[in-house]
Amino acid sequence: MVVRTDVSPVVRIEVQRVGKGFEAEIWGPDPAEGVEPWHGRTDPQGTCRELAYDVAALVEARLGARAWSSEAPPPHLAAPPEIEVKPPELHTFAFRPPESLAALVPRAPASVTSSTPNGEEPPFEVEAAAGPAVSLYGLPGVAVGGSGLLGVRWPFFAAFAEVRGLITPASGIGDRDLPGRTVAWTGSVLPCLALKHVDACGVVSFSQLQFDLGPAYDVTASDAFSVGFGGRIDGRIRLSERFRLHGYVDVNMQLRSIAVALDPSQTTGETTFWRSPVLRIAIGVNVSANLME
């Protein structure tokens, strides 16, 4: 509503409640000069719509084209002043609940200010992870152990370096089931495509196998070192702003097969008692931490 205080009002309307309805009083100028302004009252109406119809009819009867004895209405009615409508000024309103309800209103969470300049997040995260790992295929038996990982993560790319150590808990190597255990040490480099909940990684691995058969056997092998290439699928779930839970499957193809044989002076017939397959499969779970937090 626009209210002008610099012009004279043409029609003034006051609405008041009468019982369960509404009634309007109207004041306005008289068509004839020198006559006192007229005053009218509508009948009580039950709704605002019906009251507006009555007001419009009464104003039309008193100020409409048929109400003037001359050919044209007075100039101040025929050409009302132009009104410039400006957008209203908006003011913020701070709601304060009553003291009796203040205890029931939850407190606003505390704001955390970033430690980086200008409140910007760093473009990358430095991650460290550790957890258990299991070799399902590729060693003389199922091997268990753990792994540690360190790397850098960007929004769509990540790169990690990993060290893993495994040992076969069950004693027995090769078809002859010689009493002994195998230890495998593996270092890997993993470039990854980082998706929302999954990392798809390539793997370049460098591994060294160690065989312990006790003092009763001498193992001969030129070396037990091998290089492998493969891939890893790593699914991750965010536990908090800093920690994530990972579960992965690692498939790796070795460039060579390692043959382990007994000393010919201690056995007769075939001396090779185990030859490693070129395929190695491992699974693991770890928890990673964002070291930038």
Task: Decide which of 7 and 189 is more confident.
Answer: 189
**99 pLDDT more than 90:** no
- Confidence (pLDDT) at 114: 52
**104 pLDDT more than 70:** no
Are the CB atoms for 139 and 156 separated by under 8 Å?
A: no
Summarize the confidence of residues 122-144 as an average pLDDT.
94
Domain at 126-290: CATH code = 2.40.160.20
pLDDT band at 1 (very low <50, low <70, confident <90, very high): very low
Task: Decide which of 94 and 185 is more confident.
Answer: 185
Closest C-alpha to 276, from 210, 216, 217, 188: 210
* CB within 8 Å of 259: residues ≥ 6 apart: 221, 272, 274, 275, 276
**247 pLDDT more than 90:** yes
Summarize the confidence of residues 259-278 as an average pLDDT.
72
Average pLDDT taken over every residue of the chain: 80
First to last CA, the chain: 54
Summarize the confidence of residues 150-175 as an average pLDDT.
91
Task: Decide which of 10 and 78 is more confident.
Answer: 10
- Confidence (pLDDT) at 157: 96
Residue extents of the structural domains in the chain: 12-78, 126-290
What is the spatial distance between Cα 219 and Cα 214, in angstroms, rounded to a whole number? 10
* CB within 8 Å of 38: residues ≥ 6 apart: 27, 28, 29, 30, 62
Summarize the confidence of residues 77-102 as an average pLDDT.
64
Task: Decide which of 224 and 107 is more confident.
Answer: 224
Q: What is the pLDDT of residues 11-23, one digit of tens each?
A: 788 888 888 888 8
**25 pLDDT more than 90:** no
- Confidence (pLDDT) at 69: 59
- Confidence (pLDDT) at 270: 59
